[in-house]
Structure 1
């Protein structure tokens, strides 16, 4: 069976749904619209009106594509319901009636734990959503649904559900389910599997408009990742490896229905733009479900000062002292960051300039509003030579905080709601297994060092990074056995701290994935309290891997040939 993906986030390419439906054969079309930040956005949307809280672009895509899907017999599964899957299901039915189409629409609910947040110990939050699994989707499809919309299910569940329904898998078919999780994890981020955000992007043909990926899933859980013929981008062992390393941790990747053993995955070339995933093993899921908790953290404001030419450090110290002295009420948090973007003897003013960022946060908007930004601007004629800022004074803006909670799976309702209004309760897993660390893998035989050159790590290694709440992961992989032998011994946590000084005082976990020739790092706390908190200029850590690849390190000359 062939499952295509048409969305990796809320705001992804609008035309992808039509492209996937018209570009080739599919049995199912899925879409992932949710992320930690998206849940906060939808929660604020719902707070304005209880009728909101879902991804509205899904409806506009369906307006031009629902008839095509029905004509081609393609069933659609998407988590675009966000915080209001029932509302989105009703909106899809209204749209179908408007278009004169007969559509069976079902939805999955139960993930919204906000009414019980206090009882469950989550405190005063704006949204609390448990990550549900695939069996509600299976029930909806088994009852004849053409369109299934969900709330906060795991990203891979929108792929696992159709696979399990199509092949009639049981809840104990862990290897098959884990295979579908692996395929789902590869395609759920859309064009990231076909060359988007790929370390060696210059090798990708026609990246102007990459096609979206699809998975050909077999009854045993193995799969082939590919894309429609004639579309841009590329599917290769490396593009699939990069996506497998995205936002994961160690050898065990927990989902509500199965724990995927990442160390069991085997990738092989299956022809042009075709990569086979097999050998996947699964274990019973953990007894708890992860809960996405979003709350309002307070108010924030910022000011960026441009420092040009000579004496950059002294200029930064002067304006810092002046501004902090001028603030009559000190904000709860005040952070300074000096970005040395300046170059000596620069031939343009921009390249001669550094950027000094000041960020303030406080529960009281008055403490980070005009009293802060006006105080900064009032220094314009009384501070360092060449004083200028990148924006005028402004009021503070609300910011969100993400935290992860956990709850026993038996405490979370999981309900399939069918087109006729009947409701099916989906029981939690009866067999569970606590997550435990995998015994450390034996390192490969060291590579004889020989002569080296000091060059960027990215000359031989790929990387992909992303956010995990307040933490970030950086997956690094090698493309040959010898490069892997060198990488596994060289890129230690101490070496990572040396290459990325921002991580020097943070807790770092290192995981080896030999089948993928990869080392994965999880860096705790580098993103503060989540993407909306904006602890650093790259708040989702999307560029962290590329920073690492750009750092210079001694590499054996034989590996550079």
Structure 2
């Protein structure tokens, strides 16, 4: 132990080296690998260990927990991880920063103190609050949670005052890293470039193993049986090196880092409560095995407003998947649709929203029954449980002996379950309280940014020179020459696509237009689609508004978080120059 039996260096200092701060990540979501916290603490040197537990869906889950018990509302998994992790952090002088506090950071901080006393590890615990704006009101009917996305100022204040564990509620995911870096290096609130560099590093770390080969298009080149979690070596100028502990699985390459940089982003400007980072200024370069350097990041003043994530219970949903085997699949699907619609009409209580989706997963002359079968998915939503429960399940069950030949379903229909809706609101930054509650109980108010600027669309950068015309082409999957990473942003989806080579970029930048994107992904044809060009990453980022309906909690589509839209795009065929293949 150091510092009189407490974790970490002397109050105000963090790292053992003043020139670099080693920040690791041990969680990308609530439910991530439980042992990751121990693995990161024991796998190699660290100064700070972060954990991201919050997502849009998580806030809804925690909101429902809080309804059942006001003392709940935080990520309880984190407390269990600390049962042995707290002692390990003490031995190694590692400070811990996490947003696992969710809707009740003060409650989690108190429970950590109780745990520390029980396991005999003295620890200074601080927390950040002010993000919970539910009591402010005016959010509309049925809102369950209303939380502003705070920046890293509160985290920095807690660490500068000597905190060894900092618990927050809703902060931006990257703030866990940028706040720690600002505390260590003493950055000012207007050190835009430094802050932007740390935000970019934080964005790479925030989703855990996605930066070390997880969910990576070209996964076959790496051992992914148990990928390690990432860490960043951050320098005073805001540059960083992304790496991982030695002898851990996965890989850190310019490709894995590019994929994560494109995840859940939109245009060239990446706005946050502390700084607007310019994604179009990011430069990546190999820095040795499993090491990628990030430099050149420019920052601008943050916007004058702060995003507030709202969740509410939207109603009830249910689904039934009918299995259609063998011949006449379309006729069988038409029959069951007609029968179910007739049952809805007879009940007088047709669900408010009824969606049918036929997935032709069947193969002709199949060697197994499963390969001979298609899936017809019925999804219903309504404000009342009866309309999605008894009405739907009763109608489906009654068809068991009176419908198409081979009738069966993948699972017995249930009573329905509640679904949530995510919305984003924006309030002036000065209207959001931001308070660091230090380990000794003192409260430090974090002022809003002194300078703000409304982010304007970045000018369209020049495209690279196209490949020489007239070359031979071959019809092939796009994924042979390009990687992709997709995700959710409320009701929108983003699909980042990058070329693996300069020549591939010269082709991709001209070939994959918005029109071509819509053609390849017919589900996007009637939706607004924006294309953003990021030449330094050899990447295009497409944002599709409305693809996810009311957000992931609403489960509006087969892939409610758009996790696989990028891989769908890569599987689509285009006329690709043979020189690239």
1:134-183 superposed Cα distances (whole Å, 9 cap, x missing partner):
00001000111000000000000000011000000000000000000010
Secondary structure of 1:54's match? coil
Alpha-carbon distance between aligned partners in 2 of 1:466 and 1:122, rounded to the nearest angstrom: 27
Partner of 2:220: 202
Partner of 2:189: 171
Would the aligned equivalents of 1:226 and 1:235 in 2 still touch at CA under 8 Å? yes
Secondary structure of 2:96's match? strand
Partner of 1:361: 381
Alpha-carbon distance between aligned partners in 2 of 1:361 and 1:273, rounded to the nearest angstrom: 47
Q: Which of 357, 365, 368 is the matching residue for 1:345?
A: 365
Q: Which of 225, 230, 236 is the matching residue for 1:219?
A: 236
Partner of 1:230: 247
Give the aligned length.
Answer: 557
Give the TM-score normalised by the residue count of structure 2. 0.95
> How large is the Cα RMSD of the aligned pairs?
0.8
1:170-228 superposed Cα distances (whole Å, 9 cap, x missing partner):
00000000000010000111111111110000011x21111111000000000000111
Query: Per-residue deviation at 1:466?
Result: 0.5
1:445 aligns with 2:465: yes
Alpha-carbon distance between aligned partners in 2 of 1:220 and 1:494, rounded to the nearest angstrom: 41
1:324 aligns with 2:345: no
1:416-435 superposed Cα distances (whole Å, 9 cap, x missing partner):
00122111111111100001
Partner of 1:313: 330
1:247 aligns with 2:267: no
Query: Per-residue deviation at 1:410?
Result: 0.9
Give the TM-score normalised by the residue count of structure 1. 0.98
User: After superposition, where does 1:148-163 map in structure 2 within 5 Å?
Assistant: 148-163=166-181
Partner of 1:40: 60
1:470 aligns with 2:528: no
Q: Which of 99, 102, 105 is the matching residue for 1:82?
A: 102
Partner of 2:276: 259
1:456 aligns with 2:477: yes
Consecutive unaligned residues in structure 1, runs of 5 or more: none
Secondary structure of 2:143's match? coil
Query: Per-residue deviation at 1:39?
Result: 0.5
Query: Per-residue deviation at 1:393?
Result: 2.9
Partner of 1:302: 319
Alpha-carbon distance between aligned partners in 1 of 2:492 and 2:218, rounded to the nearest angstrom: 25
Query: Per-residue deviation at 1:501?
Result: 0.9
Alpha-carbon distance between aligned partners in 2 of 1:394 and 1:280, rounded to the nearest angstrom: 51
1:103 aligns with 2:123: yes
Secondary structure of 1:126's match? strand
Would the aligned equivalents of 2:319 and 2:413 in 1 still touch at CA under 8 Å? no
Query: Per-residue deviation at 1:231?
Result: 1.0
1:530-561 superposed Cα distances (whole Å, 9 cap, x missing partner):
1111111111111110111111111000011x
Query: Per-residue deviation at 1:123?
Result: 4.2
Partner of 1:384: 404
Partner of 1:27: 47
1:254-306 superposed Cα distances (whole Å, 9 cap, x missing partner):
11000000000000010111100000000000011111100000001111111
Alpha-carbon distance between aligned partners in 2 of 1:90 and 1:350, rounded to the nearest angstrom: 52
Alpha-carbon distance between aligned partners in 2 of 1:22 and 1:326, rounded to the nearest angstrom: 60
Would the aligned equivalents of 2:142 and 2:313 in 1 still touch at CA under 8 Å? no
Structure 1 runs (4+) deviating above 3 angstroms are 121-124
Alpha-carbon distance between aligned partners in 2 of 1:375 and 1:190, rounded to the nearest angstrom: 44
Alpha-carbon distance between aligned partners in 1 of 2:577 and 2:45, rounded to the nearest angstrom: 47
Partner of 2:296: 279
Query: Per-residue deviation at 1:101?
Result: 1.6
Alpha-carbon distance between aligned partners in 1 of 2:577 and 2:82, rounded to the nearest angstrom: 54
Alpha-carbon distance between aligned partners in 1 of 2:558 and 2:382, rounded to the nearest angstrom: 19
Deviates more, 1:384-393 or 1:132-141: 384-393
Partner of 2:5: none
Query: Per-residue deviation at 1:371?
Result: 1.8
Secondary structure of 2:57's match? helix
